[in-house]
Structure 1
């Protein structure tokens, strides 16, 4: 409407003035409701063409969109394992601090596993005591076996010396018996030594390994016990939390509620502009926004990021081919905007719908030395018509509460 009124001042009004004062035609006489087209056809045609051109220039170089909102992250509240709710620490909705417990699952199975691991550790410690006692006993048996071996060897040497001096003093059978006895004593020493080595291996390797394994099982059981208490990963608000003691929860089925971070949706705004604006939208562009949850306020913003892909073109591999005709609506260029001032989004509710205008600036091109005079004037005109869009946004901000409360039927 503003474009039409502006263009009519440059086309229809001069045409009418010429008809009225140049040709002497008067409204109600020569210029009537039925002859207005014939009398003012040049001004009306020029007005229509100029209005369409102006609207094209304004909307192309200074894009606008109503597809804008403050997206925020909602984290589902769910345990890692399924179980029965034993205790609930929050209500249906409320604020929670980071690390605060939200609810607790029944941990009887995990506590039983932890107690079993503790008993295994105690059993292993007792086995270490017994193994040390066996080691001491083995040392004593080795000493005893060595003494018996030494005695048998001395007796054998004595008999062998006597036989060497006088073969008739000692019988050959006696020598053989003593040799067999010495061999048996040596075997007894080896057996006692092996028993000692076995006891040492149990003390130094086997039992410590069993103890470490039991301690690892205890640590794992303690982790499982800790997992039964679901805590807030960050400071935020719990919403739609309907779990109560006795409910069964399963992470594969549904969440118990959602946890919204405290800063979610309060730092940036996301807007979807038409695909035709792909060549115009640039990082650093100045923009303005007005939101439904904060009417009658214009928020200065700046474009901080552009998504390189259009979401409508994505697909996942499957057993069916994708037909482009199946895309019902064309996608938009996702743009990220942040307020120029730190408190720019204060009072704007996360998730609120907004209207966003972005304004292109050709200052660098105008100041460039290789830009001609005609082109400079045209670029100045392009930047100047952004004022029309700024006025439209302010009119929208002014009428937004009336449109929402009166004409929307709410």
Structure 2
């Protein structure tokens, strides 16, 4: 409507003034409802063409959308393990700090695993003490075996000396018996030494490895025990928390509620512009928004990101072929807007619906040396008509609360 009034001011009004004061034609006489088209045809046609052109220039170079929302993420509250709820630490809706407990699962199985792992460590420590005692016993056996071996060797040496002096004094069978005793006692020394080495090896490698495995099992059991206490991973607010003591929760099928991060929806706004604006919207463009939750206020913004794909065209592998006709509604260009000044979105409720305008700027092209005069004038005109869109946004911001409260019945 505003564009039509502006165009009529430059086209239809001069045509009417010419007919009225130059040709002397007046309404009710020469200018009637039946003769308006013929008399004012040049102004009417020019007004319509100029209005269509102006609207096209404004909406293409300075895109607008009502699909702007302050999106925020929600995180489902789920445990890492299955279990039955034993304790509840928060209410249906409550603010929580980072690391605060939300609910606790029954931990009897995990506590038993922790106690069993501790007993394994105690068993390994006891086995280490026993192995050290075994070394002392083996050392005594080695001394005993060496003493017996020395005694047998001395007796064999004595018998051999007597036999050397007088062959008839010592029987050959006695010498063989003593040699067998010496060999057996040498084997006993070797056996006792091997037993000591085995005990030493247990102390040095086997028992420490067993204790380390038990300690790792204890650490794993303690981690599993800690998983029974579900805590907030970040500061935020718990909502729709309907879990009660005795309920069974499953990380794959049943979340306990949701938690909204403290900073969610506080720093940026997402707007979906028409696909035809894909070549116009660029990072760094100035923008303005007005939101229902913060009426009668226009917030200056800047475009910080443009999604380079359209969500409506996504597909997932399945058992059926995709038909292009299934995409009934064309998707939009998702654009990320951030406030130009710090705290610009303060007071805007996360999830609020907004109206957004983006304004293109051709200043760099205009001041370029290789830009022609006609193109500079045209680009100046394109940038100037952005004022019309800015005015429209302010009219929308003024009318939006009245439209919402009065005419929509909300």
TM surpasses 0.5: yes
Equivalent residue, structure 2, for 1:140: 140
The answer on 1:277 being equivalent to 2:277 is: yes
Equivalent residue, structure 1, for 2:47: 47
- Counterpart CA distance in 2 for 1:322 and 1:158 is 105
* SS of residue paired to 2:167: coil
Equivalent residue, structure 2, for 1:172: 172
Equivalent residue, structure 1, for 2:322: 322
State which drifts further: 133-142 or 391-400. 133-142
For structure 2, the 5+ residue unaligned runs are none
Equivalent residue, structure 1, for 2:64: 64
The answer on 1:308 being equivalent to 2:308 is: yes
Kindly provide the CA deviation profile for residues 304-338 of structure 1, in whole angstroms up to 9, marking residues without a partner as x.
Answer: 11111111222223333222221111111111111
Equivalent residue, structure 1, for 2:155: 155
- Counterpart CA distance in 2 for 1:364 and 1:377 is 14
* SS of residue paired to 1:349: coil
Kindly provide the CA deviation profile for residues 126-165 of structure 1, in whole angstroms up to 9, marking residues without a partner as x.
Answer: 2222222221111111110110011111111111122122
- Counterpart CA distance in 2 for 1:17 and 1:77 is 72
TM-score, normalising length from structure 2?
A: 0.98
TM-score, normalising length from structure 1?
A: 0.98
Shift of 1:254: 2.2
- Counterpart CA distance in 2 for 1:128 and 1:376 is 90
* SS of residue paired to 2:65: strand
Shift of 1:401: 0.6
Shift of 1:205: 2.0
* Runs of 4+ in structure 1 over 4 Å off: none
Equivalent residue, structure 2, for 1:372: 372
Shift of 1:168: 1.4
Equivalent residue, structure 2, for 1:346: 346
Kindly provide the CA deviation profile for residues 167-215 of structure 1, in whole angstroms up to 9, marking residues without a partner as x.
Answer: 1121111111111111111111112112212222222222222221111
Q: How many corresponding residue pairs?
A: 410
Equivalent residue, structure 2, for 1:105: 105
- Counterpart CA distance in 2 for 1:409 and 1:194 is 96
* SS of residue paired to 1:230: strand
For structure 1, the 5+ residue unaligned runs are none
- Counterpart CA distance in 2 for 1:260 and 1:90 is 14
Shift of 1:123: 1.8
- Counterpart CA distance in 1 for 2:204 and 2:325 is 73
- Counterpart CA distance in 2 for 1:252 and 1:114 is 26
- Counterpart CA distance in 2 for 1:277 and 1:382 is 15
Equivalent residue, structure 2, for 1:124: 124
Shift of 1:278: 1.2
- Counterpart CA distance in 1 for 2:237 and 2:285 is 34
Shift of 1:22: 2.1
